[in-house]
């Protein structure tokens, strides 16, 4: 028996111990792409395209050419974050460059970017340098200080971060009342209730659910299994319960659109025909917006409205935070607390400090009020 092991073929070159060849670099990039959620990957690609355009126009260099100095990253912040000056909001990006970025299709509209968008673009820049083995320009104290001070300046001058409107109980009921349009309404009702009652599921989690992820526990309860999610990348399947109206709505959808395999929530074509293709994440957002519009609800609605609404309502009804996080799978208490506290304050005794006043006393402003 020949026990000889060929380490490398005669025409191949041995690798350098401290370097990775091009194929290894490509393999690393492949692992990163395969292990990244589709929505996150799309946001990475969008950010890289923007960096490429901005660097070409501002510095005449490409994104892939060489490490980006910290000073360039700081200029990116100054170009894109608006700052208050004599009653105006200014930023340093030249209008001709701004317009060129819009015309290139890497920027939606002229003007400054939000603080969150700038932070995300810098995070992608840092990620790219990490993959290339370059020193990151986003770790320096000067850049971090600039970002922090810029955010403080914006908040203090009324440019606060906008949050999507939360779907509280009453809003959800109003949306569900519009789901009377045949098979499409049956699907939308099941989707809204699963995403909301099932723990405030992200849109990527909703569209990722397969029929085979479902298990009926009893006549009034379903279990659905989650695999890889944004905050749980280990792939261990976790079952979450659905009961009450959510379980009833899911049963109705499965009866209207029976299937043994494939996506749980699928497209509905004209005439009420259910297709085999699953919904996209953007379509989940459009369903929320459409139902809110049909219900006559004012607000800035999105798929995330279901997630924030579940947490808000749980706080409102006094559900312990630990139980809420077990359903939502939030990893950070800080992330979930803003919504939870907003809901819990609605039942606070502090709101009723004047409830024992007589009606006549409530209408008065106190002695001497007419001359004050």
Q: Domain 169-349: give its CATH architecture.
A: Orthogonal Bundle (1.10)
Q: Judge contact between 346 and 316, C-beta under 8 A.
A: yes
CATH of domain 23-156: 1.10.150.130
DSSP H or E stretch at residue 359: helix 359-363
DSSP, res 263: B
DSSP reduced 3-state for 333: helix
H/E run at residue 124: helix 115-132
**Cβ 115 vs Cβ 161: under 8 Å:** yes
Helix, strand, coil content of the chain in percent (nearest 5): 55, 10, 40
Query: How many CB atoms sit inside 10 A of residue 321's CB?
Result: 17
Tens digits of pLDDT across the chain (372 residues): 444 433 334 344 443 444 445 555 555 565 556 556 666 777 888 888 899 999 999 999 888 878 999 999 999 999 999 887 776 778 889 999 999 999 999 999 999 998 889 999 999 999 889 888 899 999 999 999 999 988 888 777 766 556 788 999 999 999 999 999 999 999 999 999 999 999 999 998 999 999 999 999 998 999 999 875 665 556 678 899 999 999 999 999 999 999 999 999 999 999 999 999 999 989 999 999 999 999 999 999 999 999 999 999 998 888 998 999 999 988 888 778 877 777 777 767 776 777 777 555 545 544 444 434
Sheet order of strands, 238-243 included: 214-218, 221-226, 238-243
Closest CA to 190 of 287, 309, 282: 287
CB of 204 within 8 A of CB of 283? Answer: no
Q: Is the Cα torsion angle 88, 152, 350, 169 positive or negative in sign? A: positive
The pTM score is: 0.64
Long-range contacts of 133-140 (CB under 8 A, 24+ apart): 134/66, 134/67, 135/67, 137/67, 137/68, 137/69, 137/70, 137/72, 137/73, 138/70, 138/73, 140/70
Q: Are 246 and 240 in contact (CB under 8 A)?
A: no
* Structural domain boundaries in the chain: 23-156, 169-349
Residue 39, burial from CB neighbour count under 10 angstroms (0-12, 13-18, 19+)? middle
């Amino acid at each position: 028996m020949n026990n000889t092991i060929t380490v490398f073929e005669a025409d191949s070159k041995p690798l350098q111990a401290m370097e990775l060849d091009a194929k290894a670099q490509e393999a690393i990039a492949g692992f990163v792409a395969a292990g990244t959620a589709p929505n996150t990957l799309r946001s990475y690609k969008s950010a890289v395209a923007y960096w490429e355009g901005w660097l070409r126009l501002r510095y005449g260099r490409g994104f892939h050419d060489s490490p980006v100095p910290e000073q360039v990253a700081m200029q990116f912040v100054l170009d894109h974050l608006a700052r208050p000056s004599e009653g105006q909001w200014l930023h340093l990006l030249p209008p001709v460059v701004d317009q060129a970025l819009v015309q290139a299709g890497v920027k939606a509209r002229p003007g400054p970017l939000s603080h969150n968008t700038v932070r995300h673009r810098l995070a992608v820049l840092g990620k790219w340098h990490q993959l290339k083995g370059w020193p990151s320009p986003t770790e320096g104290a000067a850049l971090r200080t600039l970002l922090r001070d810029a955010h403080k300046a914006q908040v203090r001058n009324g440019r606060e971060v906008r949050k999507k409107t939360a779907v509280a109980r009453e809003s959800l009921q109003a949306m569900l009342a519009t789901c009377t349009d045949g098979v499409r309404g049956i699907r939308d009702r099941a989707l809204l209730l699963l995403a909301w009652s099932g723990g405030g599921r992200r849109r990527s989690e909703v569209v990722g659910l397969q029929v085979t992820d479902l298990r009926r526990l009893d006549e009034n309860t379903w279990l659905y299994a989650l695999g890889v999610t944004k905050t749980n990348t280990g792939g261990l399947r976790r079952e979450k319960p659905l009961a009450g109206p959510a379980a009833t709505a899911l049963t109705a959808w499965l009866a209207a659109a029976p299937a043994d395999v494939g996506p749980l929530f699928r497209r509905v074509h004209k005439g009420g025909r259910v297709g085999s293709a699953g919904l996209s994440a953007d379509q989940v957002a459009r369903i929320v917006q459409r139902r809110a519009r049909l219900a006559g609800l004012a607000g800035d609605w999105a798929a995330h409205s279901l997630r924030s609404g579940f947490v808000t309502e749980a706080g409102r009804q006094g559900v312990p935070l630990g139980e809420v996080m077990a359903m939502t799978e939030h990893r950070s208490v800080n992330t979930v607390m803003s919504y939870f506290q907003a809901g819990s304050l609605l039942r606070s005794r502090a709101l009723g400090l004047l409830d024992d006043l007589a009606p006549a006393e409530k209408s008065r402003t106190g002695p001497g009020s007419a001359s004050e």
